[in-house]
Amino acid sequence: MLTSLKGKSVIVTGGSKGIGRGIARVFAATGARVTLASRGEEALRAACAELEAAGGDVRYEICDVSDWDSVRAMVDSTAAAQGGLDVLCANAGAFPQTKIVDMDPSEWDQVMATNLRSAFLSVKAAIPHFERAGKGRVVLTSSITGPLTGYPGWSHYGASKAGQLGFLRTAAMELARYNTTINAVMPGNIYTEGLQDLGQEYLDGMAAAIPLGRLGAVEDIGNAALFFASDEAGYITGQQIVVDGGQTLPESLEAIDEI
C-alpha cells in the first residue's frame, strides 16, 4: 500500500478523456484534489460529473497546453484554488495519422506543440509552485510509439513522444534543486473511448498481439502515474516505465503464437 495522496493538489492535462480521465480517476479515488485541464468544456464537465459522483474532489480548467499564457494561467489558478501544487501529470496529447509524403508541415508543428512543447510549458509553469512547496512530482505520458516502436503515419507523433524522454532527462537534473522528480509512463495500446468506433473484431486483433491478451485499461496508466507521485518513489527521477502488457516483447509474429 502506497502512502496516501489524500489532500494533495494534482493537475492532469488532457484529463477530460481517455488516459487522462483514468489518471484523474485513480488520483481522485485516493482523496487527492484534482484539476482536469483541456480545451473542450463539455467533456471537462462530463468528466468532473463522473468523478464527483464517485466522491472525488475535482474541478476543471479550460486550457490549450500548447499555449504559454493558457498553461501559466491554468497552473497558477489551480494552485490558488487547491492550496499549491504537488503533482503535475502532463498527459494531453494528439495523434493524427498521416504519412510523411502527405503531411503538411503545419501538422508536424501542431503535433510537436501539443505533445512536446506542452511538456516544457507545463513543467516551466509548475516550477515556482514546486519551489515554494519545497517539493513536487511530474509524470509525463509518453508512449511506446517513438521511443521503442514505429507505425506508419506517426512519424511526428513518435518524434514528439521520444522527444519527451529527451526533455525528461535534463529536466530531472534541473528539477532536482526543487526536490522535484519527473518520470514518464510509456503506454502501449490502451482502451479509450476513442477506440470504441474501431469495432470489436479490430480490438480483438489488437489484443491478440499483446502477450497479456488484452488492451490496457486507462487505470493501468493511472496506477503507474500514482506510483511515481507517491512518497515511495521519491528517489526515482528521470526514468520511464513501459506499461504495455508485454506488447513490445515478441521478436516475431510467431513468438506470439508460441504463448
Q: Indicate which residues carry an active-site annotation.
A: 157
91 is a site residue for ligand NAP (CB under 6 A)? yes
Q: Which sign, positive or negative, has the C-alpha torsion 10, 11, 17, 18? A: negative
94 is a site residue for ligand NAP (CB under 6 A)? yes
Q: Are strands 180-187 and 240-243 parallel, antiparallel or unpaired?
A: parallel
Give the sheet arrangement for strand 57-62, strand by strand: 57-62, 33-38, 9-13, 87-90, 136-141, 180-187, 240-243
Q: How far is CA 93 from CA 19, 72, 104, 142, 219, in A?
A: 10, 18, 19, 9, 17
Q: Kindly report the number of other CB atoms within 10 A of residue 89's CB atom.
A: 32
Size of the site for ligand NAP (CB under 6 A): 28
Q: Give the nearest distance from C-beta 183 to ligand NAP in angstroms.
A: 15
Q: Give the nearest distance from C-beta 107 to ligand NAP in angstroms.
A: 14
Closer to ligand NAP by CB, 78 or 178: give it. 78
| Among 249, 190, 193, 188, residue whose Cα is nearest residue 219 | 190
Binding mask 205-244 for ligand NAP (x = CB under 6 A): ----------------------------------------
163 is a site residue for ligand NAP (CB under 6 A)? no
Report the distance separating Cα 219 and Cα 239, nearest Å: 20
Give the interface segment with ligand NAP, choosing from 26-34, 51-59, 89-97, 173-181 (CB under 6 A): 89-97
Site for ligand NAP in 21-60 (CB under 6 A): 38-40, 43
Chain-centre distance for alpha carbon 129: 20
Closer to ligand NAP by CB, 18 or 136: give it. 18
Closer to ligand NAP by CB, 178 or 182: give it. 182
114 is a site residue for ligand NAP (CB under 6 A)? yes
- b/e map 92-121, b = 16+ CB within 10 Å: bbbbeebeeeebeeeebeebbbbbbbbbbb
Q: Give the nearest distance from C-beta 153 to ligand NAP in angstroms.
A: 14
The length of the chain in residues reads: 259
192 is a site residue for ligand NAP (CB under 6 A)? yes
Closer to ligand NAP by CB, 104 or 257: give it. 104
Site for ligand NAP in 116-155 (CB under 6 A): 141, 143
14 is a site residue for ligand NAP (CB under 6 A)? yes
Residue with cell 501544487: 85
Q: Which sign, positive or negative, has the C-alpha torsion 46, 49, 51, 57? A: positive
Which residues are near ligand NAP by CB under 6 A? 13-14, 16-20, 38-40, 43, 63-66, 91-95, 114, 141, 143, 187, 189-190, 192, 194
